[in-house]
Chain A
Amino acid sequence: MTGTHLGMPAFPAVAPAFPAAAREAVRDEVLRANLRHATHTIRDKRRRAVAELADWDRLRAAGKAVKDHTLRHLDRYLLQLDAAVTAAGGTVHWAADADEANRIVTDLVRATGEREVVKVKSMATQEIGLNEALEEAGIAAYETDLAELIVQLGHDRPSHILVPAIHRNRAEIRDIFRAEMGGWGRPAPEPLGDDPRELAEAARLHLREKFLRAKVAVSGANFMVAETGTMVVFESEGNGRMCLTLPETLISVVGIEKVVPTFRDLEIFLQTLPRSSTAERMNPYTTMWTGTTDGDGPSAFHLVLLDNGRTDTLADPTGRQALRCIRCSACLNVCPVYERAGGHAYGSVYPGPIGAILSPQLRGTGSAIDASLPYASTLCGACYEVCPVAIDIPEVLVHLRERVAQGGPVTRGGVRVTLRPADGRTAERAAMRAARLLLDRPGALRAAERLLARARRLAPRTLPGAGRGWTDSRELPTVAAESFRDWWARERSDPR
């Protein structure tokens, strides 16, 4: 092993606001073609997979209800889960934030004496930057999901929840494998073509070596069952099954919102998650484990329950619905903005519509990127339509826009505070207010319309200030010579 760069490059600490980041992506023709092809393929497949179920709407409502109920009684279910996991031989750790979670995991790995871990794809560990934290402690973390492997080998960042390398095409992947695999372990076979089967085989050989050697695995979980203490991972490649069964020690980092009350509740999500994410009737591998079992699977199991902003999010009556998310990524695949802007523009491991409502809640709206994310949507509603737990993403977006534009109450670190409007919005606020004052006085509005109509021949081709955003790419609408109001007064009612 000669590789030195073992962590996944984290998102830059100061990410640019969404519009600037998206501009780069929109201009990248290869990226746009990759994204368009990939998102359209999966969105069509999803539509067909969902249409097969006559009771889809009821499954969706049931999933929403189960999640809402659990979130309302989250304290109770988490304690029940803790007790069940402990009784089954596991150890439960509670982490308030990313630092605490990283410290717990690092200490647990150190205690085993191992210097490397294999990883199952997990959003929670990406959210807290676990790979970087482990790297700092001199521990190598190997991603074993094919797409995560591509991202890790390419010193890249994930751009999709489910298909983190969606922005890469086959030829790019082949080049990454050839250049990088050798530095991490078993090199890519030569010659290597860009046929998907050949690429998958190269990854399989490379990863097999790691699976058989690893003593410690780190995972997340899609669901945790409170009544039994059972963890559930859905996956497609079998790498998860390897990681979850072969090593001696298994550490799972899971967001507290992933708990469901009973084993029966899984029935709903076993149907809705695969169809929404990979458009499959059932995912190839569903691994469930309950604590530890002598002579079968890992002999030590640690569950790290992660808060990291979730309790604060739960305190907000409108925003909390984001915690229902089961990370299926259907909303990304139908989002016209994601399709053009790509995942990296969202400046977070959570891209697309769900990222736009989750990141500004988990991290707060203080940074440029987080204050711009609620505006990274046309509010077209395609995300809400496909969401298997019926998160009204447009509603939350508008709610978060309010938080940015007007300020208001918010919970940070368990403390209720009142936010002031975000900086740099003085001009916008003044314009909104002026427009409202005018619109609230039809007499004045009529005078303004007449003035505009008289000046319409003078209309410039480009507008100054914020209006430039319109005229940079489009012609202005022509102002009518006579407003509707005036036409009506002239034609249909007594002249005034």
Chain B
Amino acid sequence: MRAALFVTCVNDALYPRTGIAVVRLLERLGVDVDFPAAQSCCGQPQYNTGYRYETEPLLRRTARAFDGYPYVVTPSGSCAAMIREHYPRIGRKAAEEGRGGELAAAAASLAPRVYELTEFLVDVLGVTDVGAYFPHTVTYHPSCHGLRALGLGDRPRRLLAAVKGLDLVELPGAEECCGFGGTFAVKNLDVSTAMGADKIAAAAGTGARVLCGADNSCLAHLDGLLRRADSPMRTLHLAEILAATEEEPLP
């Protein structure tokens, strides 16, 4: 099976180890992974801040970069939601504004082929036990776009529960937003920080060593708060835990 990796701009520059983990994990499961170099950013920061017109060239670029791939896999719930939920909207609005159907067609072609990593694993590959090994206590924060826009449900937790050696503990108030919210984190610093502080306090209360998530943007916010507080807890993307095996532990 052939799949294209949409690594996302945040992972490309700041968390390449997450992208590498996805490649290792999918290859281990027999997937032929490709990385179309023409990809960059889905345009979510622009779109969510109110700059829809600045998003359009990135929509066009992203659609072109992944043209022809039956599966496009991304380790980010919010970027997957951006493409699946908002690209069609952007296309529709452009058409309504009398600028033709080109963006709508590009969006319609790409959207149904995009899978968030856990969807691809559970729904397409049909696996929950990916043969991973991670002997630590872990708690999982489901990021909002994965949870509510994509409806990932318990897929991430099922994948984690099947990891050998891993002790999964429930995060109280797991479904509450961590306070990142893209530019919200900067524009509404105080509320964002208060939300993040409550989230890391809840995580610390579980006794877990690792706070796992499936969206590195949210984790960057939580990790920034944890490090500022000199907390021993670390954040990790789900893909990195799933990529770890007894032979090849997490670097």
Contact check, A432 vs B54: say whether CB atoms are below 8 A apart: yes
The answer to whether A374 and B38 touch (CB under 8 A), given A385-B148, A435-B45, is no
**Per-residue contact bits, chain A 416-446, to B (CB 8 Å; 1 contact, 0 not):** 0000000000001100110110011010010
The answer to whether A381 and B187 touch (CB under 8 A), given A439-B40, A440-B61, A442-B38, is no
**Per-residue contact bits, chain A 450-480, to B (CB 8 Å; 1 contact, 0 not):** 0010000000000000110110111111111
> Chain A binding site: helix, strand, loop or mixed by DSSP?
helix
Contact check, B15 vs A381: say whether CB atoms are below 8 A apart: no
Q: Is A93 an interface residue (CB 8 A)?
A: no
Q: A19 contacts which of B12, B38, B50, B188 (Cβ < 8 Å)?
A: B188
Q: In the bound complex, how far is the Cα of B195 from the Cα of A337, in angstroms?
A: 8
Q: In the bound complex, how far is the Cα of B185 from the Cα of A466, in angstroms?
A: 11
Query: Which chain B positions have C-beta within 8 A of A385?
Result: 148
Query: Which chain A positions have C-beta within 8 A of B195?
Result: 336-337, 340, 378
Q: In the bound complex, how far is the Cα of B189 from the Cα of A467, in angstroms?
A: 11
Q: Is B154 an interface residue (CB 8 A)?
A: no
Query: Which chain A positions have C-beta within 8 A of B109?
Result: none
Q: B40 contacts which of A18, A442, A472, A489 (Cβ < 8 Å)?
A: A442
Q: A432 contacts which of B51, B181, B196 (Cβ < 8 Å)?
A: B51
Contact check, A377 vs B61: say whether CB atoms are below 8 A apart: no
The answer to whether A436 and B57 touch (CB under 8 A), given A473-B193, A475-B224, is yes
Q: In the bound complex, how far is the Cα of B187 from the Cα of A22, in angstroms?
A: 11
Q: In the bound complex, how far is the Cα of B48 from the Cα of A400, in angstroms?
A: 10
The answer to whether A473 and B57 touch (CB under 8 A), given A429-B51, A439-B41, is no
Contact check, A379 vs B48: say whether CB atoms are below 8 A apart: yes
Query: Which chain B positions have C-beta within 8 A of A470?
Result: 185-186, 189, 224
Which of B115-123, B131-139, B172-180, B237-245 lies at the interface with chain A? Answer: B172-180
Q: Which residue of A lies closest to B195 (CB)?
A: A336
Q: Is A81 an interface residue (CB 8 A)?
A: no
The answer to whether A378 and B51 touch (CB under 8 A), given A385-B148, A477-B224, A484-B7, is no
Contact check, B180 vs A378: say whether CB atoms are below 8 A apart: yes
Give how many A residues have a beta carbon under 8 Å from the other chain's beta carbons: 65
Contact check, B144 vs A381: say whether CB atoms are below 8 A apart: yes
Q: In the bound complex, how far is the Cα of B186 from the Cα of A358, in angstroms?
A: 24
Q: In the bound complex, how far is the Cα of B219 from the Cα of A342, in angstroms?
A: 26
Contact check, B16 vs A378: say whether CB atoms are below 8 A apart: no
Contact check, B54 vs A433: say whether CB atoms are below 8 A apart: yes
B4 to chain A minimum Cβ distance, whole angstroms, is 12
Number of A-B contacts (CB under 8 A): 194
Contact check, A484 vs B186: say whether CB atoms are below 8 A apart: no
Query: Which chain A positions have C-beta within 8 A of B228?
Result: 473-475
Q: In the bound complex, how far is the Cα of B180 from the Cα of A395, in angstroms?
A: 18
Q: B16 contacts which of A445, A467, A476, A482 (Cβ < 8 Å)?
A: A482
Q: Which residue of A lies closest to B85 (CB)?
A: A395
The answer to whether A480 and B224 touch (CB under 8 A), given A26-B191, A336-B179, A336-B195, is no
Q: Is A402 an interface residue (CB 8 A)?
A: yes
Query: Which chain B positions have C-beta within 8 A of A493?
Result: 35
Q: Identify the 8 closest CB pairs spanning chains A and B, nearest first.
A: A378-B181, A474-B224, A401-B50, A405-B50, A469-B186, A380-B177, A484-B16, A484-B19
> Would you give 11 A-B contacts (Cβ < 8 Å), ordered by A?
A19-B191, A336-B177, A376-B191, A380-B181, A385-B148, A442-B37, A472-B189, A479-B13, A480-B14, A483-B12, A493-B35
